[in-house]
């Protein structure tokens, strides 16, 4: 049995904005075992990025993690730390960021500084977390660049980010994040800005590096197709709440929540051209106008008045590891 690496319980985050407080993340709970890949899927405003930023406490100053939230992370020594209680300058937090937990983002140009070479930035990062000399760190950087498949890594290491193409930059960022051997990699839409042929290369690379290094991955995407390719388990988020979670295959084959079902029907497939595209009706409400009760009730085709618009649904397990947050799921449930 793999050990728990990360446990998020009841996480709520509030932002102070000019138009008053908004809660983009509302009572989110999920967990991740060492070595597993968890996909988080959701549309814009679903809170998927904010949730993962909270794990390494990278939220902006206007954000507060509300009382009652817990984020527990197992440090390499084996102890569980309560991340939300750490002081912003805590040593444990510094060890986590970039060291035990690596991050890659959608836009690699924004994550590299344009005025230093790729190598300089990698060396700085490696030496922050590993007791290596500059020369050793540089060797490791070149080795990692070769591992992610960049041609001529000895030359690339001295290039500036703007000299690389988008796909190469994304791979350089993966090399940097993985150079210190994190136990957890958080990848926030890492392939969204890439063309499909390059996306296939990057997904391939992430899969093989994961198997080689044995790390866990949290993979955020709006594309269920990509999640299906890379993740073991999936968390479906809508307006800051988890509506459904379970093994990827099961959630796609046997979706329980009306939102998950709607999402699957609205995705165009290429294996059949004549299946109708059924949109999810209505628009995503703005985070400042969070509906009462179930957050999806304003767009839900099977909404039951008096219940869904008043009471927040509880989480119910439909089968081991597969749970859903919907009032009506028991009625829709097929008893196995």
Nearer Cβ to other proteins (93/193): 193
Max Cα separation, the chain? 67
> Residue 168 CB, nearest distance to other proteins (Å)?
7
Q: How far apart are CA 132 and CA 335, in angstroms?
A: 58
Nearer Cβ to other proteins (55/230): 230
**Which residues contribute to the site for other proteins (CB under 8 A)?**
43-44, 151, 165-168, 195-201, 203-204, 222-226, 228-229, 248-249, 252-253, 262-273, 277-281, 283-284, 286
b/e code 89-118 from CB counts within 10 Å (16+ = b): eeebbebbbbbbbbbbbbbbeebbeeeebb
> Residue 171 CB, nearest distance to other proteins (Å)?
10
**Helix, coil or strand: residue 165:** coil
Question: 262, 275, 264, 336: which is closest to 303 by C-alpha?
Answer: 262
> Residue 3 CB, nearest distance to other proteins (Å)?
27
Q: How far apart are CA 156 and CA 250, in angstroms?
A: 43
> Residue 225 CB, nearest distance to other proteins (Å)?
4
Q: How far apart are CA 103 and CA 240, in angstroms?
A: 21
Residue that has been written with the tokens 């954000």 in this structure: 63
Nearer Cβ to other proteins (222/333): 222
Nearer Cβ to other proteins (12/229): 229
Nearer Cβ to other proteins (45/293): 45
> Residue 281 CB, nearest distance to other proteins (Å)?
8
> Residue 1 CB, nearest distance to other proteins (Å)?
24
Nearer Cβ to other proteins (217/224): 224
- Are the beta carbons of 326 and 313 closer than 8 angstroms? yes
Q: How far apart are CA 62 and CA 14, in angstroms?
A: 8
- Are the beta carbons of 84 and 71 closer than 8 angstroms? yes
Q: How far apart are CA 28 and CA 25, in angstroms?
A: 7
Nearer Cβ to other proteins (161/262): 262
> Residue 255 CB, nearest distance to other proteins (Å)?
11
- Are the beta carbons of 251 and 320 closer than 8 angstroms? no
């Amino acid at each position: 049995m793999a050990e728990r690496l990360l446990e998020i319980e009841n996480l709520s985050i509030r932002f102070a904005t000019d138009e008053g407080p908004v809660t983009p993340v509302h009572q989110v709970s999920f967990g991740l075992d060492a070595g597993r890949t968890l996909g988080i899927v959701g549309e814009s405003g679903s809170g998927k990025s904010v949730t993962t930023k909270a794990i390494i406490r990278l939220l902006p100053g206007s954000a507060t993690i509300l009382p009652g939230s817990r984020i527990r992370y197992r440090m390499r020594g084996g102890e569980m730390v309560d991340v939300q209680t750490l002081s912003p300058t805590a040593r444990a937090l510094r060890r986590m960021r970039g060291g035990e937990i690596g991050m890659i983002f959608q836009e690699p140009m924004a994550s590299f500084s344009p005025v230093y070479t790729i190598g300089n930035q990698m060396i700085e990062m490696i030496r922050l977390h590993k007791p290596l000399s500059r020369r050793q760190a540089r060797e490791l950087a070149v080795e990692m660049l070769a591992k992610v498949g960049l041609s001529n890594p000895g030359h690339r290491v001295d290039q500036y980010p703007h000299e690389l193409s988008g796909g190469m930059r994304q791979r350089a960022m993966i090399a940097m994040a993985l150079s210190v051997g994190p136990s957890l990699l958080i990848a926030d839409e890492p392939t969204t800005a890439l063309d499909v042929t390059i996306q296939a290369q990057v997904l391939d690379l992430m899969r093989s590096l994961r198997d080689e290094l044995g790390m866990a991955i949290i993979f955020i995407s709006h594309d269920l197709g990509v999640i299906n390719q890379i993740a073991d388990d999936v968390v479906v988020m809508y307006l800051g709440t988890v509506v459904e979670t379970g093994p990827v295959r099961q959630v796609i084959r046997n979706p329980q929540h009306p939102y998950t079902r709607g999402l699957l029907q609205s995705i165009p497939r290429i294996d059949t051209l004549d299946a109708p595209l059924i949109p999810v009706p209505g628009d995503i409400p703005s985070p400042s106008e969070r509906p009462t009760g179930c957050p999806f009730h304003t767009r839900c085709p099977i909404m039951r008045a008096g219940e869904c618009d008043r009471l927040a649904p509880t989480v119910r397990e439909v089968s081991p590891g597969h749970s859903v947050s919907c009032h009506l799921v028991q009625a829709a449930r097929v008893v196995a």
